[in-house]
Amino acid sequence: MTPSTLYFSPLLTDWTQPVNRQLSAFNKKVQWQVIDEIQQSPVSSILLVAEQDLQQTDWPLLASRKAVVILDNWRLPASVAWIERGATNCFARHDDNLISWLVSELSRFALNHAERTEDSVLQVIIDAIPTPIFFKDHLHIYRGCNVAFCDSIGFERDNIVGHSVYDIAPKELADKYYHADNQLLAEGGTQRYEADVKFADGSLHEIEFNKAVFTSHDGKAIGQVGVMLDITERNQLIRQLDKSSHTDPLTGFENRRAFNQVIHREFDQLESSVRKLSLMTLDIDFFKHINDRFGHGGGDQALQLISEWLQNQLRDTDSVYRVGGEEFYLLMRDTDIHTAYPFAESLCKNMATHLFTIKQQDIHITFSIGVIEINPAIELENTLDMVDKALYEAKADGRNCVRPVFE
């Protein structure tokens, strides 16, 4: 930033000439730079802006500049309102006090700059903490941060401190932060929420923001401190654990625990819908013989081959679960018994004619199957008992067959 450059908004264009003449009279040589948007002026620069040029979306950026609002007709309430929104000062168009304020600011620039480089004990302490930490004032301007915060967002501290969140984050994200900050300042206390954050190296992180308001001695909110906990690995672990607690490792199918959750959810929805839902229970016949003949490893291989085969027979709306050693449930959505029964018959027939190769030997394997349409008027437990009973009947009737339940 050049200290002797004064940035100004378009409506002040004619007005800058008389001001420039007066500054020259006091040996203050300045350059004038017109800007269309506040963001075109550097943070901490002196910005002179006509009240009519300001949009509400500009307000969050006022406090990160030395923004002076110029009023056509100076009114005390308007002046105070602009200062509360973050403006440094407020003058009437023809107020000579503006000239003395500018002279004083231009003279003090070097001193202020030197003061900003001070290193405090607090800074050393927070820099030693590997978790990103930042603090902002009540106008959403960053007033401090640690090294971990700079590293995570990929900015130097000088490009953060004194800046508005709109200076360092894309508008969409800045809007989100601004809204959350406003809410916290209004409500006080603490705030915790999770959000995805893109770090400087392009990686996406799941972050838990822990923020707290700090107050002046009279209890007024004057800013907030935020700590960003990276919970990406923790969440990945939770998702992995959740998945493995619902998945059978041998076949990759979901297990009985997953089935119980899904069936109860879908059963509850059935009551309020006209959709049909059918359930098939499939049990491999004489699986013990396969283990006896090929060993337990051969039995495992058979289970994997059968699962692959079964998966290939299904429609997109079907889900299969391994609910026991050699027993599977097949949930068929949008399917009534008149469709489910012939489908079960064709599965049974296709399975019996398919050749599986285990340890270089071709064998035939068969299923016994029970099938039922789930009736929302009947207790789910009773339905599950009925379809299991149908499966036992199929076994008792010689296996390799389907027994449907018709009510």
Distance of closest approach, residue 199 Cβ to ligand GTP, in angstroms: 44
- Which one among 16, 123, 291, 313 touches ligand GTP, defined by CB under 6 A? 291
Residue with tokens 């923004």: 67
Give, as ranges, the residues between 208 and 227 that touch ligand GTP (CB under 6 A): none
Comparison of 277 and 290: residue with beta carbon closer to ligand GTP: 290
Order of strands, sheet of 31-34, starting from the edge strand that comes earlier in the sequence = 31-34, 5-8, 46-50, 66-71, 89-92
First-to-last C-alpha distance (Å) of the chain: 83
Give the H or E element holding residue 367. Answer: strand 367-373
Region near ligand GTP per CB under 6 A, out of 25-33, 71-79, 113-121, 298-306: 298-306
CA distance 170 to 161: 17
Distance of closest approach, residue 324 Cβ to ligand GTP, in angstroms: 7
The reply to whether 325 sits near ligand GTP by the rule CB under 6 A is: yes
Determine the residue with CB nearest ligand GTP: 325
Comparison of 5 and 291: residue with beta carbon closer to ligand GTP: 291
The reply to whether 299 sits near ligand GTP by the rule CB under 6 A is: yes
CA distance 86 to 68: 10
What radius of gyration do the chain's Cα atoms show?
36
Region near ligand GTP per CB under 6 A, out of 288-296, 311-319, 354-362, 385-393: 288-296
CA distance 165 to 197: 14
Give the H or E element holding residue 112. Answer: helix 97-116
- Which one among 51, 300, 336, 393 touches ligand GTP, defined by CB under 6 A? 300
Name the 3-class secondary structure at 163: coil
Helical H segments across 188-286, by residue range:
232-245, 256-270
The reply to whether 248 sits near ligand GTP by the rule CB under 6 A is: no
CA distance 97 to 105: 12
Distance of closest approach, residue 392 Cβ to ligand GTP, in angstroms: 9
The reply to whether 256 sits near ligand GTP by the rule CB under 6 A is: no
Q: Between the CA of residue 399 and those of 92, 342, 368, what are the distances in Å?
A: 97, 17, 5
Comparison of 380 and 401: residue with beta carbon closer to ligand GTP: 401
Which residue in the list 266, 326, 327, 373 is annotated as catalytic?
326
- Which one among 234, 288, 315, 359 touches ligand GTP, defined by CB under 6 A? 288
156 is catalytic: no
Give the H or E element holding residue 389. Answer: helix 380-396
Instruction: Please count the residues of the chain.
Output: 407
Site size toward ligand GTP, by CB under 6 A: 16
Region near ligand GTP per CB under 6 A, out of 93-101, 203-211, 285-293, 357-365: 285-293
Distance of closest approach, residue 318 Cβ to ligand GTP, in angstroms: 22
Q: Between the CA of residue 100 and those of 28, 109, 166, 191, 205, what are the distances in Å?
A: 11, 14, 31, 44, 50
The reply to whether 286 sits near ligand GTP by the rule CB under 6 A is: yes
Region near ligand GTP per CB under 6 A, out of 77-85, 87-95, 184-192, 299-307: 299-307
Q: What is the largest CA-CA distance in the chain?
A: 112
Give me the residues that bind ligand GTP (CB under 6 A), please.
Answer: 250, 283-288, 291, 296, 299-300, 303, 325-326, 395, 399
Catalytic residues: 326
